[in-house]
Structure 1
Amino acid sequence: MHVKDKIIVALDVPDLAAGERLVDQLSPYAGMFKVGLELYTAAGPAAVRMIKEHGGRVFADLKLHDIPHTVAGAVRALVRLGVDMLNVHAAGGKAMLQAAAAAVREEAAALNRPAPVFIAVTVLTSLDREALHCEVGIEREVEEQVVHWALLARESGLDGVVASPREIRAIREACGPEFGIVTPGVRPAGSDRGDQRRVMTPAAALREGASYLVIGRPIIAAPDPAAAARAIITEIAEMGQ
């Protein structure tokens, strides 16, 4: 896999026009574009269609979390849109995860196309130990909770998880070399952490075993987003990843 194919650029922007400008600039440097809650709420399915029309691949990062029937219907709609990756939240439980995984496979088969990569969100990268314990009410340590949800996702038929770089090694040990790990909380050396708590540089995250890196503000908020993306690819390549 080429270095650029491991990079998912997060289009965390308020409208379709802003997203399209970034897709135009960054298509040579991104293996996929992430459409998250902000852009999807503003533009809906048009955001996915815009990226596909530009020849890009789409990660629908909507973190679906509802009763099994509702989530299964939502993932079917996303498969019909043609997304290449999508996610739900592992906290929805095994019945939800299994129903969604079955819906993804069935809808893709009905359309005679490959199923998108289907993953589960674990512990958000904005949460640390104190927030997990005192605010969310989960008593496990962060890494233990992440691995617990990763194993649940694997057992439920999903392809991988979203997890911070700090938990990559533990997930690899628990879930094996083929399990996908999509890693946000990636910050090039010297960049601002923003609201991310558990971070790592791109090259270090890949060394740990990340399958894909989700990078947003260090690229899209840069004065020259294309130059920022090129610099990250160069940094990774020079580290031999």
Structure 2
Amino acid sequence: MEKPIMLALDFADFKQVEQFLESFSNPGDLTVKIGMELFYQSGPQVVKTLKARGCKIFLDLKLFDIPHTVEKSMERIGELGVDYVTAHTLGGSEMLTAAKRGLIAGAKRVNQPVPDLLGVTILTSCSKETLANELNCKLAMADQVVSLAKLAKQSGCDGVITSALELPMLTKEVGTDFKYVVPGIRMKQDAVGDQKRVATPEIAKQTGAFAIVVGRPVTQSENPVAAYRRYRANWNLEGE
């Protein structure tokens, strides 16, 4: 079964989203990521509209608050019928457990499947220097990501968001029965931008990724469909 490429719809408003999706002959085949910029501008209606088009929805709001607030927020998200949603693992086990409980309650209320809960570990824009010198983390990057992934798994998450660089250690220490979703994906010829820990789609797949997230290299391309096909072809190379 083909693993998903999650297209990050990092646009300022839904009109730009519609213009982008019109480039594709069948946008209902896409898995799309709705992040904070678009959601805060357009609200839940953007989820409902894209879901009606047939898109699979990754709602990436990175919830991080006290357990009660996160649980009640996740109930509302569970009612939207999205496929994937995120919460920060740094919120701790109580918050993550509450997040999953809220998703289950919300989805049950509207008779929808429970979305996969993905724990955000360390952002791919975060360098090892930032981790050590600003966040005062005593662990090395890979060790910190593994520690947070273990916490996520024990707390009921279905997977984590992680860079491809930590995947070999994650699959070994956390297991292959967990979904690893990898942002920071760039082909060698594409600009890295503000990402610090990047990898190609092929490398992500070979090291155990369940899905990859691709944004600006596709959405800001002069030919988005061609760029998407290029990433999809590299993602689906055999040899993993």
TM-score by length of 1: 0.94
Task: State the match for 1:24 in structure 2.
Answer: 22
Using the alignment, how far apart are the partners of 2:111 and 2:234 within structure 1?
A: 39
Q: Where in structure 1 are there 5+ consecutive unaligned residues?
A: none
Matches within 5 A, 1:152-231: 152-231=151-230
Task: State the match for 1:105 in structure 2.
Answer: 104
Q: Is the partner of 2:236 in helix, strand or coil?
A: helix
| 8 Å Cα contact 1:9/1:30 also seen in 2 | no
Amino acid in structure 2 at the alignment position of 1:23: L
**Percent identity of equivalent pairs:** 37
Structure 1 pair 166/185, CA: closer, same or farther in 2 (3 Å)?
same
| 8 Å Cα contact 1:23/1:54 also seen in 2 | no
Using the alignment, how far apart are the partners of 1:114 and 1:221 within structure 2?
A: 33
Task: State the match for 1:9 in structure 2.
Answer: 7
Using the alignment, how far apart are the partners of 1:220 and 1:208 within structure 2?
A: 26
Task: State the match for 1:137 in structure 2.
Answer: 136
Amino acid in structure 2 at the alignment position of 1:19: V
Structure 1 pair 24/107, CA: closer, same or farther in 2 (3 Å)?
same
Task: State the match for 1:81 in structure 2.
Answer: 80
Task: State the match for 2:118 in structure 1.
Answer: 119
Higher helix share: 1
Deviates more, 1:118-127 or 1:167-176: 167-176
Q: CA deviation at 1:176?
A: 1.2
Q: Is the partner of 2:23 in helix, strand or coil?
A: helix
CA RMSD of aligned residues (A): 1.5
Using the alignment, how far apart are the partners of 1:24 and 1:233 within structure 2?
A: 18
Task: State the match for 1:93 in structure 2.
Answer: 92
Amino acid in structure 2 at the alignment position of 1:112: N
Using the alignment, how far apart are the partners of 1:162 and 1:106 within structure 2?
A: 23
Task: State the match for 2:127 in structure 1.
Answer: 128
Q: CA deviation at 1:239?
A: 4.4
| 8 Å Cα contact 2:78/2:103 also seen in 1 | yes
| 8 Å Cα contact 1:59/1:85 also seen in 2 | yes
Q: CA deviation at 1:41?
A: 1.1
Task: State the match for 1:237 in structure 2.
Answer: 236
Task: State the match for 2:36 in structure 1.
Answer: 37
Using the alignment, how far apart are the partners of 2:227 and 2:28 within structure 1?
A: 10
- Which string of whole-angstrom CA distances, capped at 9 and with x for unpartnered residues, describes residues 81-133 of structure 1? 11110010000011100111111122223332211111100000000110111
Q: CA deviation at 1:24?
A: 3.1
Using the alignment, how far apart are the partners of 1:22 and 1:128 within structure 2?
A: 31
Q: Structure 1 stretches (4+) deviating beyond 6 angstroms?
A: none
Q: CA deviation at 1:238?
A: 4.1
Amino acid in structure 2 at the alignment position of 1:203: E
TM-score by length of 2: 0.95
Amino acid in structure 2 at the alignment position of 1:87: T
Deviates more, 1:93-102 or 1:30-39: 30-39
- Number of equivalences: 239
Q: CA deviation at 1:44?
A: 1.1
Deviates more, 1:194-203 or 1:49-58: 49-58
